[in-house]
Amino acid sequence: MNPFEYTALPGRVVFGHGTLPRVADEMALLGTTRAFILCDSVHATTAGERLHELLGTRAVGQSTGAAMHTPVEVTEKVLIQVRAAAPDCLVALGGGSTTGLSKALALRTGLPQIVVPTTYAGSEATPIIGQTEQGRKTTQRSLQVLPRTIIYDVDLTLGMPVLLSIVSGMNAMAHAVEALYARDRNPVTSMLAEQGIAALARALPLIAADSWDAAARADALFGAWACGNCLGTVGMALHHKLCHTLGGSFDLPHAETHTVILPHAAAFNESAAPDAMAIVARALGASNAATGLFDLAATLGAPTSLKAIGLPESQLDAAAEAAAASPYWNPRPVDRDALRALLDDAFHGRRPTALNVTPHG
């Protein structure tokens, strides 16, 4: 066993079916009585209304204004509402954008958060916040943005649109894939990463066949937590940095961008992190990590090219320049030309092969 360091994240997880009513009890455990609710527009008239009924007078305000990539200007607008309502906690119900807004508000107010995820984003399990300002996305780590309690209600994910389920699940897998070759990887996180990838790889094809498959939904939601937990305890590398650049600077959809880039980032790092990629392949039940990830997405109908999700080919040079402008650790050294080649593969949706699993150039 090699030496390692591991710091467990504080926080409480409630996982099961029909757990939404537990929000009131969890508020009491935190010693809070006034909740400002953050809800996405999809759930505002369904689970959001039910949450209001469950909390009664303990709900003192609500916003459905979350936006992708957590724009600072949106946060500042909602912050005015929060201060006017004078809550003593935040309750976020929705996908990654809603969680991101909750984190941004917690960073500015110090309020504790209870998060009820409805997708597989996994960000609820991390002390990481990404915010976009003037077309540039930056990230930071702070325990102040880590939710105090996560309530996973499998029932809230039943019937989630299949395409959203697939890209959200691939986004979650990306957290675990990078955790396996992170500079500060450790055996605890690596074990959880393999479990998370395997759970999602099992669940997503079943969900594609039947979006109401409760067992598959539970598997996927557990996998999302496991993968998110990995991202929360170790550092990020090429995949996440590149996706943050593409999302923040070119306004590409978050989960779809992760879905497209992940196989190519895995291919890029294959030669420098073969042991990690072998674990990914094993978890996928595939012969190769990069092709396994690509084939899973393609088979399930997810986008596999940057072209398909709205990036103009004319922006590839600018994307490579932007990503290369902020150096970061990666198991294989990154330069502008290598990034440009990777982005070209991703733009055209080329399936990784034995030829482009090896370093470009």
> How does pLDDT run across 210-239, given as a tens digit for each residue?
999 999 999 999 999 999 999 999 998 999
- All domains of the chain in start order, with CATH: 12-157 (3.40.50.1970), 162-357 (1.20.1090.10)
Residue 318 to residue 110: CA distance in whole angstroms? 37
Any residues with CB less than 8 A from the CB of 70 and at least 6 apart, and which?
97, 100, 101, 103, 104, 129, 130, 131, 132
| pLDDT recorded at residue 357 | 42
Are 357 and 286 in contact by the 8 Å Cβ rule? The answer is: no
**What gap in Å lies between CA 304 and CA 285, rounded to an integer?**
20
pTM for the predicted model, two decimal places: 0.92
| pLDDT tens, position by position, 45-64 | 899 999 999 999 999 999 99
Q: Which residues of the chain have pLDDT under 50?
A: 354-361
Distance of CA 151 to the CA centre of its chain: 16
Question: How far does CA 220 lie from the centroid of its chain?
Answer: 13
* Residue written as token pair 């940095």: 241
- What pLDDT shows up at residue 353? 77
Please tell me the distance from the alpha carbon of residue 324 to that of residue 310, in angstroms, as a whole number: 21
**Structure confidence at residue 114 (pLDDT):** 98
Q: Which residues contact 182 (CB under 8 A, 6 or more apart)?
A: 189, 234, 235, 236, 237
pLDDT value at residue 248: 82
